Amino acid sequence: MKKKLGILPLTLLVMGSIVGSGIFSLPQNMAEGSGAGAIIIAWIITLFGMLMLTRIFQYLSIRFYKINDGLYGYVRAGFGDYIGFNAAWGYWISAWMSCASYLVILFSALGSFDCLSFFGDGTTFESVIGGLIFLWLVHIIVLKGIYRAFLLNCLVTLAKIVPIGLFIVCIILAFKVSTFKTDFWGTPQLGSIIDQVKHTMLYTVWVYLGIESATVYAARAKNILSISRATFFGFAISSLLLICVSVLSLGIVPQQELAAMKNPSMALVIEHVVGRWGAILINIGLIVSVSGGLLSWLMLAAEMLFLSGQGKQHTVPRCFGKLNKASTPANALWLTSGLISVLIILAHFYQSGYNTLIQLSTSMVLIPYLLSALFVLKLAIQRGKAYLIMIGACGSIYGLWLIYAGGMSYLLLSMILYSVGLIFYLYARKQRSLSAFSYLHDKIYAVIIIGLAIMAVLYFYVIPQ
């Protein structure tokens, strides 16, 4: 491949992956279960934890510069093939679930226009048809060339920053300290500060998904420093946008009123300041942003499945490790788009909205994040480097906290999806004439996943609630 990606396109990929649909619903999502004080505490914890994860991905990209498989390759190098496979599997499922959630929120935004009200909350029959058409149009764009798709992603990411920037300027000018102080520590109905922070942090994790996206394209980058710098720049700029939107909105609309708003709540917040035209602008910005987010995550999902399928030692069937003439992982892309289509249809019949999809998507990716942090902690202990031990320990503790904050229900549901991956893994091993498990801890890990998956099936589908 002659074309290589530099710092700018990789930074815009990170920003495009992080700043998707989540930021437009963030004011309501966070105010729904927390007061301003708890939200600020949650952001402090999140910034520190995500900075540690950013440093972890920067360190891994430089230290293991010969590994071109991103997050999957790092975990595989640290813990073996099966655990590495689960990192790729969880990340891949999280990515295409994110795509489905983007389509739901996209058509929910379109439904906010009077002439398109038939799209409703994004799960109506009309939304399903529209979502499928739009998904497969994006599929065709990516199929025609990964570098063309990257160029389009850069343009869309730059375009969606404009309405977000305008929103921030408007609410800074209209910010009222008295409104911000109202129910600063929340109401009794919201529970303790710890409960409020726990509720809020699930959304802060969701909006940061994609922080590692530059590492996924390590094989296509110009050099290792491009990956490391793009990861940090993407994190820093996106953090500024996310915090301003979520915190400053509480100076425009009181917490209880903000919590009751329909999403995308950014549109209703700015409507309080400048009128209806501001809401229309934000909804247009949401449509542009979600379209770009869908493009980014569809590319990332297909790339992750491709990375784990190429070569003699990798962990999914060989057919997914092939590129077409346009350097696109076509087989991986076809499977990914097909599963997104199924999920959109299921969301219609079961009325699974945006929040349900993002919570399950977040639960799926938390384990790959935790495994990456544990790998750095393992290396740090072996090498006796205090600074690295601190980063690895903090990243690991933060990863465990995120899994706890996500709740046991979604963790158990994610185990069902992880257990299904075992079929893929065993078939790939047989295809390559390799033993099913290379280490004893692989067998233990597989037993734990299957055991938790059985518990989940019994709890959710067999035992009467």
Residue 29, φ and ψ in degrees, nearest 5: -55, -45
pLDDT value for 313:
63
Quote the tokens at residue 120: 């409703």
Quote the tokens at residue 238: 């996106």
CA distance 226 to 9: 10
CA distance 83 to 403: 17
Per the CB < 8 A criterion, the answer to whether 348 and 357 are in contact is no
pLDDT value for 46:
87
Quote the tokens at residue 199: 């509720």
User: Helix 81-110 vs helix 354-383: angle between axes, to the nearest 10 degrees?
Assistant: 150
- pLDDT per residue rounded down to tens, the chain (465 residues): 456 778 888 898 888 888 877 788 889 888 888 889 999 998 998 899 889 989 998 888 888 877 877 788 889 888 888 999 999 999 999 888 888 888 887 887 788 777 787 887 777 888 889 989 999 999 999 998 888 888 888 888 888 888 899 999 999 999 999 999 988 888 888 888 888 887 787 677 767 878 888 888 877 888 888 888 999 999 999 999 999 999 999 999 999 999 888 877 898 999 999 998 898 888 888 888 888 888 888 988 998 999 888 766 678 888 898 888 888 899 999 999 999 998 888 877 776 555 666 677 777 888 888 999 999 999 999 888 888 899 999 989 988 887 877 777 878 888 988 999 999 999 988 888 888 888 888 899 999 999 999 988 888 777 655
Cis peptide upstream of residue 264 (ω within 30 degrees of 0) = yes
CA distance 262 to 213: 30
Per the CB < 8 A criterion, the answer to whether 295 and 156 are in contact is yes
Give the C-alpha distances (Å, rounded to integers) separating 236 from 14, 69, 151, 203, 229: 11, 24, 22, 18, 11
User: Helix 193-208 vs helix 224-248: angle between axes, to the nearest 10 degrees?
Assistant: 140
Q: How many CB atoms lie within 10 A of CB 125?
A: 11
pLDDT value for 1:
42
**Per-residue buried b or exposed e for 415-425, using 16+ beta carbons within 10 Å of the residue's own CB:** bbbbbebbebb
CA distance 204 to 246: 10
pTM for this entry: 0.86
CA distance 427 to 201: 37
CA distance 14 to 146: 16
pLDDT value for 179:
92
pLDDT value for 147:
80
pLDDT value for 352:
57
CA distance 346 to 103: 13
Dihedral angle, C-alpha 412, 418, 422, 425, nearest 10 °: -160
Residue 241 neighbours by CB under 8 Å, 6+ apart: 19, 23, 161, 164, 165, 168
